């Protein structure tokens, strides 16, 4: 184990006050406000940081527009941190903070950093028992009632990039990520080695027909992990009552990763997603290769035009592809091929 997940994300925004209001309504807890930045802290001790894009940009970022301009990956111990830094430092500059955080520019022009995460803790949650025909999980008791959504952690971040293979290979070779799935013509899903989430980062092909971005590098969204369908919908209702823009697709469930989703247009950039009930994977998983439309969704409330006819069943095991540099992460491909 080495990388545990998303320790911090830094949004570079054009309206700090409006972005702060959004995330407070979204359910994040404001932790710190300074002249330079706003910081929210989640129950797993991860951080969401807001700062001004014009006056305080992230050095070296090639990301166009507002949104998450730096991701900090939390590492479990000093030994693993040093190994990861050495792998990155082989051919690029590392900028170190006083606390040991190592900043760098990943392939594709994406600013990232590595930092020890000694305070990390996975929140312990539970769902209410479910009643189904012939199966009584609750007797003489109603489901719990909640008034607000309260995201527990960040599960993944998504970027639109012109070369998904370049970005994918960097994460595998340098940071020991595992490929979990390929969405044909759309991009690659990757999981960090210290987490069991279906993916912690997705690279979406900004040159492909689904993106409509004409090859730009842009932030797309962060997935904020909540407990269940009820928390998603309570959060949605609250956000709409507060006057925030409605989701384009509404509630839905992806086939890739199986997760429930609900995306909100976000004034800090891209979208903010409530997510729940995604697949959990380990190194026994064999990557799949999905038709883009078939993998996109099983169902959703507001069906987009491009998905109005659904999609034919089309999923298979992914072809084994070796990274282009080094040996880090190569074992995961070898095991899948055996």
For domain 3-121+150-317, the CATH architecture is Roll (3.10)
Average pLDDT over residues 217-245: 98
Of all residues in the chain, what percent carry a pLDDT higher than 70?
93
For 115-161, write each residue's pLDDT tens digit.
999 999 999 999 999 999 999 999 999 999 999 999 999 999 999 99
DSSP one-letter code for 306:
G
Can you give the pLDDT at residue 65?
97
Average pLDDT over residues 48-71: 97
Average pLDDT over residues 272-290: 97
Average pLDDT over residues 271-300: 97
Q: What is the DSSP string of 162-208?
A: S-HHHHHHHHHHHH--EEEEEEETTEEEEE-TT--BS-SEEEEETTS
For 82-122, write each residue's pLDDT tens digit.
999 999 999 999 999 999 999 999 999 999 999 999 999 99
pTM above 0.85, yes or no: yes
Can you give the pLDDT at residue 58?
97
- Model confidence band, residue 24 (pLDDT cutoffs 50, 70, 90): very high
For 177-216, write each residue's pLDDT tens digit.
999 999 999 999 999 999 999 999 999 999 887 656 678 9
Can you give the pLDDT at residue 332?
37
Can you give the pLDDT at residue 210?
65
Helix (H) or strand (E) holding 316: strand 315-317
Please report, for residues 19, 22, 88, 175, 329, the alpha-carbon distance to residue 3 in angstroms, rounded to integers and kept in the order given. Answer: 28, 29, 14, 8, 13
Residue 302 has pLDDT above 50, yes or no: yes
Give domain limits for the chain: 3-121+150-317
Contact 197, 280 (CB under 8 A): yes
């Amino acid at each position: 184990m080495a990388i545990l997940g998303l320790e911090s994300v830094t949004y570079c925004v054009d309206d700090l006050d409006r972005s702060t209001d959004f995330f407070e309504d979204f359910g994040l807890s404001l932790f710190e406000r300074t002249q330079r930045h706003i910081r929210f802290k989640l129950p797993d001790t991860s951080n969401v940081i807001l700062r001004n894009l014009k006056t305080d940009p992230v050095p070296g970022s090639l990301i166009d527009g507002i949104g998450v301009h730096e991701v900090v990956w939390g590492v479990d111990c000093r030994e693993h941190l040093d190994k990861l830094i050495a792998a990155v430092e082989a051919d690029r500059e590392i900028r170190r903070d006083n606390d040991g955080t190592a900043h760098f520019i990943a392939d594709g022009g994406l600013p990232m950093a590595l930092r020890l995460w000694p305070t990390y803790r996975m929140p312990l949650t539970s769902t209410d028992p479910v009643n189904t025909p012939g199966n009584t999980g609750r007797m003489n008791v109603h489901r719990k009632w909640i008034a607000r959504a309260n995201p527990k952690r960040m599960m993944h971040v998504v970027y639109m990039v012109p070369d998904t293979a370049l970005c994918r290979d960097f994460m595998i070779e340098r940071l020991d990520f595992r490929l979990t799935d390929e969405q044909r013509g759309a991009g690659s899903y990757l999981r960090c080695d210290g987490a069991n989430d279906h993916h912690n980062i997705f690279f979406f092909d900004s040159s492909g027909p689904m993106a409509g971005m004409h090859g730009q590098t842009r932030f797309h969204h962060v997935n904020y992990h909540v407990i269940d369908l009820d928390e998603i919908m309570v959060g949605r209702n609250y956000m709409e009552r507060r006057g925030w823009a409605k989701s384009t697709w509404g509630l839905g469930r992806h086939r890739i990763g199986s997760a429930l989703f609900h995306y909100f247009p976000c004034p800090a950039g891209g979208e903010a997603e409530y997510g729940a009930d995604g697949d959990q994977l380990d190194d026994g998983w064999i990557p799949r290769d999905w038709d883009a439309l078939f993998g996109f969704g099983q169902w959703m409330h507001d069906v987009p035009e491009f998905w109005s006819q659904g999609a034919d069943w089309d999923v298979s095991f992914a072809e084994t592809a070796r990274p282009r540099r080094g040996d880090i992460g190569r074992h995961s491909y070898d095991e899948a091929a055996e």
